[in-house]
Structure 1
């Protein structure tokens, strides 16, 4: 005689367990994984190729993003496997042998990898800020946020691992001795702290960006990065709502679906947003028509001058002209505005890999030698007076 299948949870009054064709909500979960995880992988591949093959200026932030996308790939594998062990089904429709140890163990591993991956993503983005903005006070603030984000992410990994005593009690319901922490409440606190660091990461550079005098396209690019970060913040709030619902539900296999879904979206969207700065130089190098520029690497210089009227309160400026390195010409006295007492401005901007009127593309991405000391920084152009006698 066959042994009756024991459900993982007691069904509500009037409901019978269905182990053959139960209600299932896993299709959208599989679709989200199939869309967002490949986007994150592609973004990181472009980032790595750009940093190590094009600009040759890879750093710790790139390695952290690689680690984050590896976490994402493994999480996708684990969570899709969880669909076969009860995820997106009601607990009373899931056999206890599927729920424990398989569902519980895979859920624990997914939570640990999520904490590690999202922490690596945030720290990678913050390290990128250190490349871009060299201001001492700002860098101190960024290091403080890095310390908080890294500390609570590492602590979260170990908190998940040792959430029960003995540890195996986390996935083996047959172990009656020992105790476990309230994991949904821990997830809620973790999500709240994550939202705080998300907003800190997005808002930290805004005072500096607001004060910069940048071309419109450059501002649009920086704004796009911050908007992507804002989207991650919004997703984090949605995840917090789903965790709140998980706290109030005893139907763990079904209520976990939305919480895991928003975790996956948040992690992959953060990876894509963090890799966004590498997209422009990549397309400029290989698909110049996409951005309306030209390909290749060359050195360009801009020359120009403006005239100061000694007895006037205005300044007359001439548009700077871009010249190829092969046609660089130093202005002579006869080419300056007429007037023995005129003081003229001579300015030169030199960049590597730039095309005409596109110097803004290097605000974020790194530079090739011999400009490695400037990589990722915003370059300040200094004008100086040149008096011709």
Structure 2
């Protein structure tokens, strides 16, 4: 734009040079407006719903992880609003009028670059703090949590000073002067940092996804329950996919003459990554909210009743009316055996420091300490019980074994 002669109407000049054989279209060009609005709306509603459910469940016992998630949700909404303000620019650069590139445009870009680091920091630190609560009896998880939080800070917070250095005007320089400097090719330094940050973000998302898997795989749960837990924490894979795609678009920004189109694609991926981080951090509490407040609604109970009405009582445990068939237990009758250890997913913990192991000859109870190791003052007792019957005229037998 610096080479445009004075007096020329910039609104009739494309901001970029089109490829060979392509004619600029400044009236009704191809645009990513619809995609941007759709992704922003869907992802924001999804994330806000999960975060609201988390705050509702934990309202009377809010902890640091909940406050981090609240901050992350507010920052994400703000970041998404900034993305939507630039939706008219979501077209190929040769289809954007040159007069659209003003000081206001570069200010919005600066706000986006500055805000994206804190958004991801608070949302992903909230995930680590959630792991710290859920797996509090595992010292290895506690160490991994602190490593992850330090890495999150080092990955995302440097974007604040770097954006102030490379995306803000110097003293005595206007935003329009900065725009002309960036259009001359002086803005690639922050693009390089974006590639570094994006690569580290992919590694961090993989770290978040893998960290709880060893603990979940060792839980003594039925296969269906274990798959439900893996599905809850497996939502982190969506964040991994979003960060990988965002990294691809960050790389394509290097030496690309169609920066507006690439930035629009990148913005959509970053919005998805931000909101997925909030969903992952709120998933356990949301599952608890559904179990406590939604599953017991009359409509849901009626639907469950209809779904189970045709099933066999012997296999499902439900009667024709949908009620659970609980047989009356008598002394000496076989009792249903529970799994060796059962962990219920709640808003505060799924791991407990005490578990029960069942053997054929009796029950062995083991108590563990806070670090998950067996405590030396635990009580172990094995008991065999035999039931005998006699007629009324027989003398009472004194043979018994305890």
Give the equivalent residue in structure 2 for 1:34. 41
Looking at structure 1, the residues matched to 174 and 295 of structure 2 have their Cα atoms a distance apart, in angstroms, of: 57
**What do the CA deviations read for 1:93-152 (whole angstroms, capped 9, x no partner)?**
323342232333222322322221112111111111111112223211221111111222
Give the equivalent residue in structure 2 for 1:314. none
1:164–1:181 Cα contact (<8 Å) kept: no
Looking at structure 2, the residues matched to 178 and 7 of structure 1 have their Cα atoms a distance apart, in angstroms, of: 18
Match of 1:64 among 62, 68, 72: 68
The residue correspondences of 1:210-249 to structure 2 (distance < 5 A) are: 210-249=217-256
Q: List gaps (5 residues or longer) in structure 1.
A: 295-334, 338-346, 350-357, 367-374
Give the equivalent residue in structure 1 for 2:381. 385
DSSP-derived class of the 1:385 partner: coil
Match of 2:273 among 239, 244, 266: 266
DSSP-derived class of the 1:247 partner: coil
- How far apart are residue 217 of structure 1 and its match? 4.4
Looking at structure 1, the residues matched to 332 and 149 of structure 2 have their Cα atoms a distance apart, in angstroms, of: 51
- Give RMSD over aligned pairs: 3.5
Q: Is residue 139 of structure 1 aligned with residue 145 of structure 2?
A: no
Taking structure 1 as the reference length, the TM-score comes to 0.72
**What do the CA deviations read for 1:318-339 (whole angstroms, capped 9, x no partner)?**
xxxxxxxxxxxxxxxxx689xx
The residue correspondences of 1:290-305 to structure 2 (distance < 5 A) are: none
- How far apart are residue 288 of structure 1 and its match? 2.6
**What do the CA deviations read for 1:173-202 (whole angstroms, capped 9, x no partner)?**
246999655222221111000011111111
The residue correspondences of 1:1-389 to structure 2 (distance < 5 A) are: 3-5=8-10, 6-12=13-19, 17-52=24-59, 56-84=60-88, 86=89, 88-133=90-135, 134-164=137-167, 166-167=169-170, 172-174=178-180, 180-289=187-296, 360-361=343-344, 363-366=345-348, 375=349, 377-382=351-356, 383=365, 384-385=380-381
Looking at structure 2, the residues matched to 181 and 239 of structure 1 have their Cα atoms a distance apart, in angstroms, of: 17
1:126–1:142 Cα contact (<8 Å) kept: yes
**What do the CA deviations read for 1:37-76 (whole angstroms, capped 9, x no partner)?**
1111111011100111xxx332111111111111221122
Taking structure 2 as the reference length, the TM-score comes to 0.70
2:294–2:300 Cα contact (<8 Å) kept: no
DSSP-derived class of the 2:31 partner: coil
Give the equivalent residue in structure 2 for 1:311. none
- How far apart are residue 165 of structure 1 and its match? 6.6
Q: List gaps (5 residues or longer) in structure 2.
A: 1-5, 303-330, 357-364, 366-379, 384-400
DSSP-derived class of the 1:381 partner: strand
- How far apart are residue 164 of structure 1 and its match? 4.3
2:47–2:275 Cα contact (<8 Å) kept: yes
* Residues matched between the structures, number: 319
Looking at structure 2, the residues matched to 38 and 30 of structure 1 have their Cα atoms a distance apart, in angstroms, of: 12
After superposition, the Cα gap between the structure-2 partners of 1:359 and 1:21, relative to the gap in structure 1 and judged at 3 Å, is: same
